[in-house]
A and B are shown apart, each in its own frame.
Chain A
């Protein structure tokens, strides 16, 4: 049976560490698929101007294209070059909630993410995306330090 592991990328060094840990883990499993996921933080409950709304669809496409070309595609290439079966995905939404949903939809058995540095007022009050993911995920989560 193929094991599917989801890697949460964030475009920083912590995401890279998560990626290299996933590689290590996958190399120890016979049949393993890797899914490199990048979530663009977005909430449907924000306030925008009419002009922003008018151009929102275009901006969304641009954001997805940028995240795919800069973060996800290089990660997928690095994984496939290393001999792994890998795909990528970019979504908008709440990072923790969306990573979990992507994993459940893809039939993933675990999520690997990098540890975010929890600073700033918002994170102290509401916790980081990693904390939220650990608390609410439907599958085991590995946080790489």
Chain B
């Protein structure tokens, strides 16, 4: 904490100065932050992304996909069987009018989505397609479809085992269902695993839910206004987030929560316009996606490279199996926990199968990725780590360039969207992180304040560090949550299965009826 305070002080002092000498020093501050950060997080990242012996396939990717596949089979393809019912639940067809004023299924879904729809859909997809080629999109969609079952499992448990306090407030999430569920089943170690999950959730909140957002928001802003030190963006963002989560200025969060969905609709709308204008190329783009999925089309790592990137970015984007959504969904008003599971399975569909695919198609169709005319394969950059792009762009800059090729002024809208998405995701994750923090350290004001200050400090570090170490740490922290969460879901999934069986029978018998509106 002491060192972080020093960093804040140093950053604030430097912000006042504007001479070239000071600017040069500021650049070196960015570099120092980057270097220190990369050194500190290196071992953790290496452990999470360790490959299977003798292969280059990270075990964590297999962990997520195998889990999603097992949940899909175990629940009899619940994401397809109950898809229509999920839509009916979100529409409120099964909501008791006497519960009006409580958190609706739609509101719980929208809140969870505002935490997941964001930079993962814009920058993350660009990273996946930039490294894994168009084929990564195929694996991303597949991971999204399978991930619907993971989300269903964790969100049902999130509501079933949430804490409801006497004053009517609620707290839920994996830490609660792990400890309570294990106790119910008579299994040992629930409390320890819940604590471990909470630790990783805090790291995930600081990584993917914070640093990655700050980093990519800075990248987007500097691509519009010109390069400048990242810590400046970091301090501005940290100041606003601080005002909201510590200062309690709800109006900023409220405005963001209302504007973000419209930015999301605008983003999808712009992507649709570009796709419609290039209608004749959609078939070709899907051809590239399918061909790339199984051949790699010359990308680093070939087919496996495309698969790893697709799965990784899908998991990072929709967070299925990570456990974060279970925290967001647990506030819903329902007598049937499983209904929230049905609603939550729409999240990976909207986030990954629809929005991420739109981004990928725009990048592919805009032909930002350079193809070797002679072989038809994609050309690699000088380092051989990613596909060469027209202007050497990667991450959010690649998406921005792709959209600009269709709508020249769209990068300005995208810059606003990125900043708002980043902000909204940070607010959501500050809540997830806080819930994990208070689970560990209690719900006192001081304890909450300590976490909130740490959260804001990491915004500055995230904006100042370069993309590589930030994205590695963000991925590692988010996936570490999934390690504990999925391990526990294997033990707890039978509880969900009995809920599913009972609910499906009552739905079929007509005991569970629609409310007429």
A44 touches B106 (CB 8 A): yes
CA distance A103 to B503 in the complex (A): 32
CA distance A93 to B92 in the complex (A): 13
Looking at chain B's contact residues, the main secondary structure is: helix
A45 contacts chain B at the CB level, 8 A cutoff: yes
List chain B residues, Cβ under 8 A from A58: 167-169
List chain A residues, Cβ under 8 A from B261: 47
Q: Which residue of A lies closest to B434 (CB)?
A: A51
B169 touches A44 (CB 8 A): no
List chain B residues, Cβ under 8 A from A51: 253, 431
Q: A47-B258, A92-B101, A93-B97 are in contact. Are A53 and B331 (CB under 8 A)?
A: yes
List chain A residues, Cβ under 8 A from B108: 53
Looking at chain A's contact residues, the main secondary structure is: helix
Q: How many residues of B contact A (CB 8 A)?
A: 39
B95 contacts chain A at the CB level, 8 A cutoff: yes
Segment at the interface with A among B50-58, B109-117, B280-288, B481-489: B109-117
A101 contacts chain B at the CB level, 8 A cutoff: yes
List chain A residues, Cβ under 8 A from B169: 54-55, 57-58
A13 contacts chain B at the CB level, 8 A cutoff: no
CA distance A51 to B253 in the complex (A): 10
List chain A residues, Cβ under 8 A from B332: 53
Proximity bits, A76-112, B CB within 8 Å = 1, else 0: 0000000000000001110001100100000000000
Which bracket fits the contact residues of A? 20 to 34
List chain A residues, Cβ under 8 A from B463: none
A122 contacts chain B at the CB level, 8 A cutoff: no
A50 contacts chain B at the CB level, 8 A cutoff: yes
Q: Which residue of A lies closest to B517 (CB)?
A: A97
B171 touches A47 (CB 8 A): no
List chain A residues, Cβ under 8 A from B103: 48, 53, 56-57
CA distance A57 to B105 in the complex (A): 14
B102 touches A48 (CB 8 A): no
List chain A residues, Cβ under 8 A from B72: none
Proximity bits, B455-467, A CB within 8 Å = 1, else 0: 0000000000000
A46 contacts chain B at the CB level, 8 A cutoff: yes
**Pairs across A and B, CB under 8 Å, 5 listed:** A50-B115, A56-B102, A60-B101, A61-B168, A93-B97
7 cross-chain pairs, A with B, having the tightest CB-CB distances, nearest first: A92-B101, A44-B104, A53-B331, A58-B168, A57-B168, A92-B100, A60-B101
